[in-house]
Structure 1
């Protein structure tokens, strides 16, 4: 049990349920690990150890034979964008540096109802703006596999905490890749669910489907377990999915039709990243899948994403002062959006959605790179060029993730290997809208065949 903090969440839940390990013992192992590892990576920015210990003691006091939730006694951390009642929540912004919400968000309530124990909050860029986790309140989160590199973002604190064994489960959110990019950078698993699978009610942008909450963990099994706890209908979310989430009963990928796109239609991908992700098709072929390289064109997602994102930022943050440069740039872009722009975005997205519906009639899943580059230097605000191809702004290097966001589709990031210098790289598995279980089935088969996720960082 010396590596208790690196067991899977499913194993932890079984041990606590069978009373082989107490919830207090399990929590203490994670608090010890946070004390040991967090100073190096800066992933957990608000710790509620005493509160968590009281919850663990209460979990242990439940009489034998009493039904408990599937995550009973399992520690979890929440992204600092998620409201947690009585726990400091800054959104990574100096404007909210001392903010303490009065209510929990839906995802927090559901995790608690499943028996999970909140240990604290994980770092994020201001309002989740960008795929590099740094802000003026807490500073930067560092990559556990190379402390000179970025942990990705915007759920970078969550990914780094998972990779180092500080928590077995963490929630995140994803508009342009914020569950997938940090998972790729930190050798863990992140799932962008189909919008509405995990409801996220909003008072200002209730019909906005580009941003979704979702689960992160070290294994696909744990992501599936967590998704089962947080998914489900909520009438306050107008596109909430009514059907209950259930994993596919079948295992493996034999006979599945897999489309492989090494660059999603001509995007620049670094040689290091391409060399790692190019091994993914062969893995699935060995497992019995029918893999075909496809000439895919998702370029209509570019304007659709940027227009909708800009509009959302002006709507959500346009009235705030003292915004950081990335958030302020997005707000300024949004203020310039016209009705004609929104009409164009809707036409582009609708046409792309219908074309991809035809595409997924022919293929079960699409596999592609998650990110176009491996983790970059932590002092660098964003990627400015990819193998000599200049990036015009801080968003451009994330296209391989945010083009997929436009598809209204589930997408998982799964560890795919390491560069020659030891930096993690993930592969993206994308499914038809609402086929979250199929994506997780393929992800688990890939994970079990490769074992890349078992490689731990050496701090």
Structure 2
């Protein structure tokens, strides 16, 4: 806990302790975040709906503290939720006029678990239409802006969530990740996030569900200890999501880590696409920091990523299933209710059966390549994005002298969706323009303890000083 920070920049772990110790009331905490939203969201546009039950829940949480009742690990702490995730009796409109006014009856499993832990749902956050793009913009609630620079994007598809947390409107939130969507936005706004092993956190109550083998839901926050706490609350089967099955026991204490120096490889390519030199420099600095802490660190390559470009494999696999979900959603609707993301998806050519089968085989080769890598190493350290947060609406980039389209921003994140591997996005540097640069820590399947441990080590030695944006 940093006593010098205002309430709205305390992390969730600190707030929970302060509430338990009666240093602060849940009512004060909720009000501080509501005031922050009122002051800054008109320029950032991260919030789409405020929960009208938040203050009532805060008063009930305060009463429970005063009565000495048993408190959950997030008792009285506010959290926000991406608007593709169902919230009972609160609008969930999925970034589209097609779903305007939609109010679910029940909470998504992930939302219910945060509430059971004592968390208070504060608001829903913005996203691209149907959760599908690397910018958070739609016809229903407009475009979200990056609190570090309002002319830049906070990313997608969990961009409203990343912007809200970075701006102090929320200490903790839920996003979803198909190819980049909790890790990329975290990198663009300098916060932290985890995409856990596929199936670790149930996707029940989240749309779209196809292609199911690539979708994840995960926590976003401002500290690694908050990710650890949230993951311990969120993970485990729910009896509804068939991908969410038994797991290695996890607790926020991170007891299940190797009792020896970690074996760590770091890389920015080949196999990820081009990377800006200043991003490469930050990844190398993180590698050197871990080496200086006594871990075994070396530059590596993963041949499977060079043989089969994961972004191409992903595109060939997911288009067919996503197109069908989009067609079902827009059936019978007016053209002016459909934004450019759905139109772009529906305009893409179908993948032939031959190419689909080949892509499935390529995905298996990539999984095998990572299995071979993790036979020798505990951790892979990479970049999250090849550049820092970019200006709104840019569709092509020159990165390290190579011209690429915007989908290439997913080059280092999408391999984890194709394989189901866990990865953390966390800040470790700053661009020459003063924007955050994050690194990605990747572990083998079910090794969340290891990557959270390594992330904690990096967090403790980070030299980044400007942790919070100066919002204009």
In 2: Cα distance, 1:51 partner to 1:307 partner:
43
Runs of 5+ consecutive residues of structure 1 not aligned to the other structure: none
Alignment of 1:110-259 (within 5 A): 110-201=113-204, 205=209, 208-243=212-247, 244-247=249-252, 248-249=254-255, 255-259=261-265
In 2: Cα distance, 1:275 partner to 1:132 partner:
26
Could you tell me which residue of structure 2 aligns to residue 390 of structure 1?
403
Deviations 1:408-437 (A, max 9, x none): 100000101101110111001000011111
Cα pair 1:158 1:172 within 8 Å, conserved: yes
The 3-state SS of whatever aligns with 1:304 is helix
- Residues 204 and 7 of structure 1: is their aligned pair in 2 closer, same or farther, counting only changes over 3 Å? closer
Number of residue-to-residue matches in the alignment: 455
Cα pair 1:254 1:288 within 8 Å, conserved: no
The match for 1:331 among 346, 371, 389 is: 346
The 3-state SS of whatever aligns with 1:281 is helix
Could you tell me which residue of structure 2 aligns to residue 407 of structure 1?
419
- Residues 273 and 383 of structure 1: is their aligned pair in 2 closer, same or farther, counting only changes over 3 Å? farther
The match for 1:5 among 4, 8, 11 is: 8
In 2: Cα distance, 1:452 partner to 1:211 partner:
32
1:53 aligns with 2:55: yes
* Offset, 1:338: 3.3
In 1: Cα distance, 2:118 partner to 2:370 partner:
38
* Offset, 1:83: 1.1
The match for 1:422 among 414, 423, 434 is: 434
Could you tell me which residue of structure 2 aligns to residue 16 of structure 1?
19
In 1: Cα distance, 2:258 partner to 2:190 partner:
21
RMSD, matched Cα: 2.1
Runs of 5+ consecutive residues of structure 2 not aligned to the other structure: none
In 1: Cα distance, 2:385 partner to 2:359 partner:
24
In 2: Cα distance, 1:258 partner to 1:183 partner:
23
In 1: Cα distance, 2:68 partner to 2:395 partner:
52
In 1: Cα distance, 2:465 partner to 2:269 partner:
23
Alignment of 1:222-301 (within 5 A): 222-243=226-247, 244-247=249-252, 248-249=254-255, 255-265=261-271, 267-297=273-303, 298-299=305-306, 300=308, 301=310
In 1: Cα distance, 2:287 partner to 2:56 partner:
48
Cα pair 2:256 2:449 within 8 Å, conserved: no
In 2: Cα distance, 1:54 partner to 1:17 partner:
18
436-445 vs 299-308, which deviates more? 299-308
In 1: Cα distance, 2:179 partner to 2:146 partner:
20
Cα pair 2:256 2:450 within 8 Å, conserved: no
* Offset, 1:454: 6.2
Could you tell me which residue of structure 1 aligns to residue 321 of structure 2?
312
- Residues 104 and 11 of structure 1: is their aligned pair in 2 closer, same or farther, counting only changes over 3 Å? same
The 3-state SS of whatever aligns with 1:146 is coil
The match for 1:350 among 364, 367, 374 is: 364
* TM-score normalised by structure 2 residue count: 0.91
